[in-house]
Structure 1
Amino acid sequence: MSSEGVFVEGAPDDNHPEVRQLTRSQRRVLGVLVEKAFTTPDYYPLTLKALTSGCNQKSNRDPISNYTEDAVAETCDALREMGLIAVVHTESGRTERYRHYMRKRFTFSEPQLAIITELLLRGRQQLGELRSRASRMVPIQNMEQLRSELGGLLEQGFIQASGQLERRGVEVDHTFYLPNEGRELAAMPEEAAPATTAPAPATQPATQPATQPAAAPTPPAAAATAPLPPDVSERLASIERLCEELRREKLSMAEEIETINTRLEELASSVDDLRRDLGA
């Protein structure tokens, strides 16, 4: 397929089977391509050098990897055969570039694509973390929207959850793992029901010494769940808001650093291409 001097090699067609499993390197390469398409569109599609650097970057990746360009190129070949990515050849015929075809192979909404991408890059996460990180790519306004998008992915079987999405502390993860990886999320334990205290006997047992001191009375259950004073609640809410702002600032700084690194890599690649063209 060509347009304005650009040829795309390996574009998907209807003959490619459904994809439900990916190796670790395939998940990383595919996640990087989608992430960079969202966050650094001016430098997308990616050269092999930029793609390798994106796979090995220290921020927004878990686990940290150290792939070689040869290993990334081999992974790209496998993803091309699956119809998930393609090679873009420009009219100049210089460096090959890679692009993804996730939108053609899956029916994800844009927020769902960002969510899947974040899970491919970092694995299991709690909902608050996932929303902050996926919002780097596509705005997710609130937790209600996140749960709605996750619900659609859950129904299609592309994610798994450790419990009901409305529960506090629930974790979610993608389901593209290989069978031998064993990454199923364990269900969260159900909240324990309040224990009932057995009624005290009406009379003291005859074998108990008369001088034995009486047991201390059990404090009422209401005392353990007494509401916090208003000033303490306000302070906690203020601290939570501050922590959320700091997390967002950290994510924003990490994104800026990624953008700078990508631009430097692209500049270095362009210089290398220019040297080859000039015979230097």
Structure 2
Amino acid sequence: MRMNLTELEIRILGCLMEKELTTPEYYPLTLNALAAACNQKSNRDPVMSLAEADLQRGLEALGARGLARLTTTGGRVDKYVHSMGDKLGLAVPARAVLAELMLRGPQTAAELRSRGERMAEAGDLAAVEDILLALQQHGPPLVVRLPRQPGRKEARYAQVFAGMPELPEEEPEQPTTTPVPRTRPGNERLEQLEQEVGGLRQEIGELRREVEELLAAFS
């Protein structure tokens, strides 16, 4: 199943998944409750301001894909549910991790473990990493591992419902400068930094190959 959802559809779907887990007593959601969830200023990136017409349009698009539907449960007011568990075969912890990525953008495994606890207990960091690996290997992939950002030790993960995110280009090779004599103070530290940079370039190259393989899944 091809994804390519819009930002609107991703926000609606993420909110339905989130509220099912955080406030099950108010789920399924009315259109008003869904609007409040989509437009809330906490736990959202970016913050949106969606009108009722926007939500109706997004719900219709999700319904056509079998990802959300109208239900008559709970009285005469129209209420809406998602179908992620049935459509994609995702367990509760995986849905919580995925919803967090849909609502707040790319995050590290540690951030997902901490922030996702409000929706479901996913276990320790290793358990969250296992969930992320399973989502990457899903058919089609639902998550991709991004290259590490400069100055950050941990890689981030992103959902791919809108397609593959833009990945940073590999930095070009810097012009060769005059070699530093080995007897010069600080040379050992310079060599260590050069080795670390070389390792990062190799890692980015490997990640690029992984992304190319994932892109093939959307063809």
CA distance in 2, matches of 1:138, 1:186: 32
| Structure 1 counterpart SS, 2:42 | coil
Segments of structure 1 that go 5 or more residues without pairing to the other structure are 1-17, 190-195, 201-216, 226-280
How does the TM-score come out when normalised to structure 1? 0.58
Alpha-carbon distance, 1:71 to partner: 1.1
Alpha-carbon distance, 1:151 to partner: 1.0
Is the Cα contact below 8 Å between 1:162 and 1:187 reproduced in 2?
no
Identity %: 33
Partner of residue 75 from structure 1, selected from 55, 58, 65: 58
CA distance in 2, matches of 1:118, 1:130: 7
Q: Larger radius of gyration, structure 1 or 2?
A: 1
Which aligned pairs between 1:13-162 and structure 2 lie closer than 5 A? 18-90=1-73, 92=75, 94-156=76-138, 157-162=141-146
- Give CA deviations for 1:224-251 in whole Å, capped at 9, x if unaligned: x9xxxxxxxxxxxxxxxxxxxxxxxxxx
CA distance in 2, matches of 1:33, 1:21: 18
Segments of structure 2 that go 5 or more residues without pairing to the other structure are 172-178, 193-219
Equivalent AA in structure 2 for residue 77 of structure 1: E
- Give CA deviations for 1:252-279 in whole Å, capped at 9, x if unaligned: xxxxxxxxxxxxxxxxxxxxxxxxxxxx
For these two proteins, the number of residue pairs brought into alignment is 178
Alpha-carbon distance, 1:149 to partner: 0.9
Partner of residue 167 from structure 2, selected from 150, 165, 185: 185
Mark the CA change 1:135 to 1:98 in structure 2 (over 3 Å): closer, same or farther.
same
The residue number in structure 1 matching 2:185 is 218
The residue number in structure 2 matching 1:169 is 154
CA distance in 1, matches of 2:186, 2:80: 66
Alpha-carbon distance, 1:50 to partner: 0.3
Is the Cα contact below 8 Å between 1:162 and 1:188 reproduced in 2?
no
Mark the CA change 1:62 to 1:91 in structure 2 (over 3 Å): closer, same or farther.
closer
